[in-house]
Amino acid sequence: MLRILDALAQDEVEVQNVPLDMTGKSNLKIILIGNSGVGKSALMNQYVNNRFSNQYRATIGADFLTKEMRVDNRMVTVQIWDTAGTERFQSLGAALYRGSDCCLIVFDVTSPTSFHAIDAWRTEFLVQADPSNPDHFPFVVIGNKTDLADRQVPPRQGQEWCKGHGAQYFETSAKESVNVEEAFLYAVRTALKNQKENELPPDLNSVQLTAEGHGGAHEDKCSC
């Protein structure tokens, strides 16, 4: 973990997008952001390791897990980054966020403060990550801890925010593994779709111009 933090502090860590390698495997980077204590680490561990712990330990800087999976007949390696939700680590944002294929913004349904912070988290991500197409970058919003009785953020609030920002909304319980698989699978599929759409097609016009300019029929008929 210390090596990760040292590299991030020197702005050396960046997981690059690799749209499709020669083996037909896609590599994705998915990042979890949101206030401290909303359950980002718990969601990541439940999804990757099928494990939940009641012992809370704040993430220091960043941590990540990798999951190999098959999605729609394609092998995908997903690197999931869990980021600290405290201000003292926000200087690492650019190094952490760059190269992300999808961003999951997490809040706690028992904490209105964490819900109202998702606007700021989204803005911070777009500034630091600087995606090539910010208007269409895929965001997923997760209202976590639905297993708790003292809920204070109703589903309608999350749904309305997402409708206004073009994001998808899920409600989850990392503790009871409710909707966790569905939320991450949606994120993976959306990231793959976005990645494919951003791949540049061959420049057919330049190929045609080159063909006409070298050895074309017009040049053969020219008498000198």
> Which H, E and C letters describe 128-149, residue by residue?
HHCCCCHHHCCEEEEEECCCCC
pLDDT tens digit string along 123-140?
Answer: 999 999 999 999 999 999
Q: Are strands 139-144 and 168-171 parallel, antiparallel or unpaired?
A: parallel
What's the pTM? 0.75
Map out the domains of the chain with their CATH numbers.
2-221 (3.40.50.300)
**What is the distance between the alpha carbons of residues 41 and 49, in angstroms, rounded to a whole number?**
11
Confidence of residue 208 (pLDDT cuts 50, 70, 90): very low
**What is the distance between the alpha carbons of residues 6 and 198, in angstroms, rounded to a whole number?**
32
Q: What is the mean pLDDT of residues 170-195?
A: 95
pLDDT of the residue at 73: 84
**What is the distance between the alpha carbons of residues 196 and 17, in angstroms, rounded to a whole number?**
11
Angle, alpha carbons 207-213-219 (nearest 5°): 140
pLDDT tens digit string along 16-68?
Answer: 343 444 456 899 999 999 998 999 999 999 999 998 867 555 544 567 899 99
Looking at per-residue confidence, does 199 or 5 come out higher? 199
pLDDT of the residue at 195: 80
